[in-house]
Amino acid sequence: MAQLAIIHLRFLLRNSTLNTFETMCRIFTTTAFIAVTLSACTLKNFGLNHDIVAESKDHSFQVSQTNPAWISEDLKERASPAKSAICTDLKNLIIAVHYSAPLVKGRNIWGDLVPFNQVWRTGANEATMIELSNKAIINGQSIDAGRYALFTIPSENTWTVIINRVFDQWGAFQYDKHKKQDVLRFDVTPTNCDMTEMLNFSFNKNSTKQVTLNMKWENVMLPIAIEAAN
């Protein structure tokens, strides 16, 4: 589109039989269209067409409404829909979780489709991503603002939650390669919940400084405590 507009602008400049005012109006309109089109292309290429939810205090990091990796993909083709859960209820902290949500579809999930004692992407497709606008405390441990992968190791009783710096991993297939990039690792006891066909993440506000991030799928809920550091 921008190339066609540029050709049209050149034609106006070389061959216009309109009066000066009409020519200038058309040139202005065409130039404005070119600028907007090129700007939109630049934003798309750099992932900035995703709405920004929050920016860190030092302006070094921005939390987005969706996973930046989803920009160029037709998400309608996914069997496990792309989802985002965003918490804006805390003072000085915005949290976003981007994930793909598989369905039960009558399958045995825990210990079967999702094996016990193995690292899991905590969803489908890409590893689930968690973004923090500012420094936070997760399960009592401090973590800096940033974008991270959220892995889990399910078991029959206690699950291990892993926060890893390499956020743009596909599944957990390369986790061992990036294991040294773990930022946090802690155990959480899951609870039972009502049957949940589609995996989902949601936030339960406990106070102005603390929420619980809940992952639910099938009949299991995994609660993760998160609070603002300041």
Beta bridge partners of 196: 218
What tokens appear for 49 in the block? 């067409």
Residue pair 186/141 in contact (Cβ under 8 Å)? The answer is yes
pTM of the model: 0.71
Q: Could you tell me where the DSSP H helices lie in the chain? A: 2-15, 20-45
Three-state DSSP at 108 gives coil
- 175-189: average pLDDT: 94
Query: pLDDT for 37-46, tens place per residue?
Result: 433 332 232 2
Residue 143 pLDDT > 70: yes
Residue pair 80/125 in contact (Cβ under 8 Å)? The answer is yes
| Alpha carbon 102 to its chain's center | 16
CA gap 199, 122 in Å, rounded: 9
Which residues contact residue 87 at a Cβ distance below 8 angstroms, ignoring those fewer than 6 apart?
94, 95, 96, 203, 205, 211, 213
- 189-218: average pLDDT: 96
What is the chain's mean pLDDT, rounded? 79
Nearest to 78 by CA among 198, 212, 206: 198
Residue pair 123/109 in contact (Cβ under 8 Å)? The answer is no
What tokens appear for 192 in the block? 């039972």
More confident residue, 215 or 89: 215
CA gap 201, 54 in Å, rounded: 19
What tokens appear for 190 in the block? 């899951």
Beta bridge partners of 160: 153, 187
CA gap 218, 126 in Å, rounded: 20
What tokens appear for 172 in the block? 């957990």
For the chain, the helix, strand and coil percentages under 3-state DSSP, each to the nearest 5: 25, 40, 35
Residue pair 26/18 in contact (Cβ under 8 Å)? The answer is yes
User: What is the sign, positive or negative, of the torsion defined by CA atoms of 191, 196, 199, 205?
Assistant: negative
Query: pLDDT for 79-137, tens place per residue?
Result: 888 899 999 888 889 999 999 999 999 999 999 999 999 999 999 988 999 999 999 99
Query: pLDDT for 5-63, tens place per residue?
Result: 444 445 444 555 555 556 555 545 545 444 444 333 322 322 333 455 555 555 455 56
